[in-house]
Amino acid sequence: MSARPPLGSVDARGLAVLGYLGLYLAIAALLSTALGLKPLLPVEWPTDLYGLSLVTRPSPLDVGIVGSSRAHYAFLPRALDACLSASLGRPTRSEAANRVTASAFAVAALARDHFSGDKAPPTLVIEVAPDALNRNHFELRHNVATTAEWRDLPACLAEVPATRLRVGDCLSPLTRPVSNLAHLLHRPFAELDHIRWMALVEGGGQYCATHPTCEARNADYDARHAGRWATREAAILPRVRSERFADYQIEGGLGALAFTDLLASRRAAGLATLVINLPVSEAYQREIPPADYEQFQAWIHATTEAQGARYLDWNRGDWTDRQLYLDPDHLNARGAHKATAALCRALTDALH
């Protein structure tokens, strides 16, 4: 009977297993990067197809739009192009990329992935919300795990002691490629024709605008989701303060750093940036702590001015009509047409 190895010794077979595991993770990471699989989430919107390079751009972009679900419902890229083309006397092309769970960190990562380098449009529209900049955003762990890269590791690790983040979240670039490849093999995205159509034809977004049947499609969607207001009023509004504005802080957080870096990089490249605070209903606004909202407004005004970006605050004025909303913090098709027309007016001067 062979003697048991001394306590603390390392078996060669154990090292081999660890070595093969490391090699597998490295190969998966390289393959995932080569295929453009970062980020890769369960497909809900056209954004999730951008990472697979299934959406090819037939022409350079004039406008890129990034944001959360609020921007996904608020803007119709092809309606925006029709308006801009009429105003500018030339064809334009706009595309939107949004995330369901979107802290400012995730939105900045989205812009970095899809609208930077040789893919950077002359004008980038960034939707920003008060809760998205919260250093203690309740979805930040998920956002980091699905979008962070190795370059984010130092800043991420620095946040671990003071926030809800964990070291494992920061190390997600090591493990995410494996889950991405598994997800790809389990659910081929090429089968999701309706999402491909929205991405290829409509440029992203929830509502369409290129065909006469679009208005009927948009109306049908809003009618089928008419219960969203009551559902979210009961399930989301009571948790707005405790989840989205818990321990509210902006300065020094991952979201604030990523947002500022995004604005600075575009300013350095001589590119225009438009930052928009989209409207929410009065019912939703009442749940936002006034002191936190004032902190957001002060920070966003100072930061956009310092970085040469233009800030538009639409969460005031004539956006109180209940008929513009699908639920307390998302616009419906009627609201989307209004928001898209307002965006067209704001962009016309910038694109001249």
What residues contact residue 219 under an 8 Å CB cut-off, 6+ apart?
A: 333
- pLDDT given at position 223: 96
Report which secondary-structure segment, H or E, holds 305: helix 290-306
What residues contact residue 329 under an 8 Å CB cut-off, 6+ apart?
A: 70, 232, 236, 280, 281, 284
Helix (H, G, I), strand (E, B) or coil at 77: helix
> Is 311 inside any structural domain?
yes
Angle between helices 333-351 and 77-88 (to 10 degrees): 40
Sequence-ordered strand ranges (E) for the chain? 63-67, 94-98, 123-127, 272-277, 310-313, 325-327, 330-331
- pLDDT given at position 188: 56
> Is 211 inside any structural domain?
yes
Angle between helices 214-224 and 333-351 (to 10 degrees): 130
Segments in 56-171 forming alpha helices (H): 69-74, 77-88, 104-114, 140-147, 153-159, 167-170
> Is 136 inside any structural domain?
yes
> Is 332 inside any structural domain?
yes
**pLDDT single digits (tens) 200-243:** 788 888 999 988 899 999 999 999 999 999 999 999 999 999 99
- What are residue 275's DSSP bridge partners? 126, 311
Q: Between 63 and 24, whose confidence is greater?
A: 63
Question: Structurally, how many domains does the chain consist of?
Answer: 1
> Is 188 inside any structural domain?
no
* 293 pLDDT above the threshold of 70: yes
- What are residue 3's DSSP bridge partners? none
Handedness of CA 302, 304, 306, 308 (dihedral sign): negative
- pLDDT given at position 34: 67
* 134 pLDDT above the threshold of 80: yes
CATH of residue 68: 3.40.50.1110
Structural domain that includes position 269: 60-169+203-351
Alpha-carbon distances of 4 from 14, 18, 24, 125, 339, rounded to whole Å: 15, 21, 30, 64, 72
Mean pLDDT of the chain: 86
52-56, 140-144, 147-151, 153-157: range with highest mean pLDDT: 153-157
| Confidence label for 244 from pLDDT (cuts 50, 70 and 90) | very high
> Is 267 inside any structural domain?
yes
> Is 197 inside any structural domain?
no
Dist. CA 197–CA 311, nearest whole Å: 32
| Confidence label for 35 from pLDDT (cuts 50, 70 and 90) | low
* Overall pTM surpassing 0.85 (yes/no): yes
Give the closest residue to 203 by CA, choosing from 340, 4, 308: 340
Q: Between 284 and 185, whose confidence is greater?
A: 284
> Which tokens belong to 240?
């707005």
> Is 198 inside any structural domain?
no
The residue whose two tokens read 């928009």 is: 276
